Amino acid sequence: MLCRILRKSDPESFVLYLWRNRPTIVIGRNQNPWKECNLKMMASRDVLLARRTSGGGSVYHDMGNSNYTVVMPREAFTRDKCAEMVSRALHHADIPAYVNERHDVAVEGRKISGSAFKLTNKRAFHHGTMLIDADLGRLHGCLHSEAKDDIEALGVESVRSVVTNLREYSLSIDHLTFCQAVMSEFGRTFGKLDVGRNVTVWDESDTHVVGMVEEERKRISTWKWLYGQTPRFVHRFGGVVGGKPVVAKVSVYHGHITEVSLGYDAGQEDADDCGVFQMISDSLVDAPYVAADVRSCLGPISRESPTAAELCRWILEKIMEAASGDSA
Amino acid sequence: MSFRVLTKSFVSQRLTPSLLHRTFATKKYTPSHEWISIDKNIGTVGITEYAQNSLGDVVYVEVPEEGTEVELGDVVGAVESVKSASDIYSPLTGEIVEANQAVTEKTKLINSAPETDGWLFKVKFTNQEEVDNLLDEAAYKKLTEADH
């Protein structure tokens, strides 16, 4: 819906969009899900993965988190204007919110809202989360990848902050009262808002609206967008296989393995070892960086010899620490 | 003697506009703050000093793949700075013949040298009219001054 608003709205208009999601980790456009997220844990807790088109880091959405987006003419864009608008909206609920140096909204040093931005040639948008009553326990651990320190990536890393829910500061605030407060402040900031004419409310039962955005929904659900959009990265890991220290380097681009380099740490490879290393490397090139695909590529190689089987098992185990996501 | 002859030859040769175009690359601009240096039928593209200044510290750069066919106005890359993802547009229709991989690894080049080492890609174009429609330096300067 947001992409549709960005493309179809009057270029001179200011549009406020307020929305909520089922439990989802939303990564920024240029982030690495394998480095940012614990995909195994997310799957076990029914937390979805989404990638947005704006920049910035990873955030958590559920029905206790409300999102606001302001779409505006490109020349009207500043990073703090909308965050300040939302802070003022919260002041009306007696919540002492302010905008911090990272353009996020905070209360007493704790982040309640993360911001991200998108700039096109004619339009821009600012969107932010607002943790009202989110299930932060469900989130805990989902943003900690076991392979985080082994992955060197181009792209954007999240900056961790201490977060809190608005519920700690107000017993009465909820999604509806937050939306009403933000709409009022939006009208005061950007111009008169005629609630009767200019405000539309819909949900998943509004099939005509869902139909309008179906194409975009499909596009952002594809593996190509969720995982294939990931900037170039290298996953390095080491261990002991068959009593020998071994090092591996897996290079990945557009979510597919482009090169695998294997070797014994002290250069102890013999001709047979080199042969196995080469077979493993060749089998993995072009494979999606997904455990199931890696397993299927390594299957035939693991039957070549006991050494090959041990190496394949080890490689799969290390890649599974990161790459438990959906198949391509 | 020979000097006088040489001088006479030099003076009689006229520097035509086409000769100037072959000798120097011309620089053009877009309203979305890209610069294009035109050399024969190749345009080298980057973002302007004005653009990098308003973006802030660049932390990520995406350039198009070499060999991609693009049309005027297509989104061909991206730059991220201070949590803002900005689209980069192709100012010309043609084929991407080279992309600057160095800038994807040293993203700060966009801030320190946006109009030289921070170039993004080169496009081989066929439509001279698209080039003629781009802004010249004076028109672009007027645009950026109007923004203030």
Per-residue pLDDT of chain A (328 residues; tens, 9 = 90+): 666 666 667 778 888 999 998 999 999 999 999 999 999 899 999 999 999 999 999 999 999 999 999 999 888 888 899 999 999 999 988 999 999 998 899 999 999 999 999 988 788 889 899 999 999 988 888 998 888 889 999 999 998 888 999 999 999 999 999 999 999 999 888 876 665 566 666 666 777 666 667 777 888 889 999 999 999 999 999 999 888 899 999 999 999 999 999 998 776 777 788 889 999 999 999 999 998 999 999 999 999 899 899 999 999 999 888 776 566 6
3-class DSSP assignment, residue A138: helix
Question: What residues make up the domain containing A97?
Answer: 2-226
The answer to whether position A39 is within a domain reads yes
Residues A198 and A256 in one domain: no
> Do A297 and A199 lie in a common domain?
no
End position of a domain, from candidates A226, A261, A292: A226
- Residue B37's CB: how many other CB atoms inside 10 A? 18
Confirm whether A328 is domain-assigned.
no
Q: Least CB-CB distance to B59: which of A102, A103, A156?
A: A156
Cβ contacts (< 8 Å) between B78 and chain A: which residues?
Answer: 29-30
Domain C-terminal end among A226, A254, A281? A226
Q: Give residue ranges of A with CB < 8 Å to any B CB.
A: 28-30, 53-57, 75, 79, 102-103, 115-121, 154-156, 231-232
CB atoms within 10 A of CB B16: 9
Q: Is residue A23 part of a domain?
A: yes
Residue ending a domain, among A203, A226, A249, is A226
Q: What is the DSSP string of B68-80?
A: -EE-TT-EEEEEE
Burial class of residue B64, CB neighbours in 10 A (0-12, 13-18, 19+) = buried
Q: Examine the domain organization and report whether A204 and A240 are in the same domain.
A: no
Residues of A in contact with B80 (CB under 8 A): 28-30, 55, 156
pLDDT at A27: 95
Q: Are both A282 and A304 inside the same structural domain?
A: yes
What residues pair up with A15 in beta bridges, in sequence order? A71
Cβ count within 10 A of residue B65 = 10
Token readout for B20 is: 């100037």
Three-state secondary structure call for residue B18: helix
Q: Cα–Cα distance between A51 and A202 in angstroms, integer?
A: 23
User: According to DSSP H, which parts of A191-290 are helical?
Assistant: 195-198, 207-212, 214-221, 223-226, 271-284
Same-domain status, A135 and A238: no
Q: Domain for residue A327, yes or no? A: no
Chain A nearest C-alpha distance from B78 (Å): 9
Contact B94, B74 (CB under 8 A): no
Find, in chain B, the residue whose alpha carbon is nearest to that of A233. B105
Q: What is the pLDDT of residue A194?
A: 60
- Domain membership flag for residue B112: yes
Interface A–B counts its CB contacts (< 8 A) at: 62
**The total number of structural domains that make up chain B:** 1
A117 to B104: CB separation less than 8 angstroms, yes or no = no
- A 10 A CB-CB count for A61 gives 23
Residue A17: burial class (beta carbons within 10 Å; 0-12, 13-18, 19+): middle
**Taking phi first (over 0 means left), then psi (-120 to 50 degrees means alpha), and beta for anything else, what does residue B3 get?**
alpha
Q: Does B129 touch chain A (CB under 8 A)?
A: no
Residues in chain B with CB shorter than 8 Å from the CB of A103 are 82-83
Task: Please tell me what DSSP assigns to residue A79.
Answer: S
> How many angstroms separate the CA atoms of B137 and B27, rounded?
7
Nearest residue on chain B to A29, judged by CA atoms? B85
Kindly report the nearest CA distance between residue A138 and chain B, in angstroms.
25
DSSP state of A163: B
Of A56, A102, A121, the CB nearest to B32: A121
Q: How far is B138 from B116, CA to CA, in rounded Å?
A: 19
Contact check, Cβ <8 Å, A121/B83: no
pLDDT at residue A274 in the model: 86
> Residue B69: how many CB atoms within 10 A of its CB?
10
Among A156, A132, A194, A202, CA closest to A27: A156
CATH of the domain at B104: 2.40.50.100
Domain around B52: 24-146
The answer to whether A301 touches A310, Cβ cutoff 8 Å, is no
CA A150, CA A306: separation in Å to the nearest integer? 27
Residues of chain B with pLDDT under 70: 1-24, 147-148
> Which of B41, B46, B63, B22 minimizes the C-alpha distance to B112?
B46
The confidence score (pLDDT) of residue A167 equals 94
CATH number of the structural domain spanning residue A263 = 3.30.390.50
Distance of CA B62 to the CA centre of its chain: 16
Instruction: Answer yes or no: do A79 and B78 touch at CB < 8 A.
Output: no
Chain B CB contacts of A53 below 8 Å: 85
State the residue for tokens 């068959």: A242
Q: What is the ipTM of this complex?
A: 0.83
Amino acid at A45: R
For residue A28, list chain B residues with Cβ-Cβ distance below 8 A: 80, 83, 85
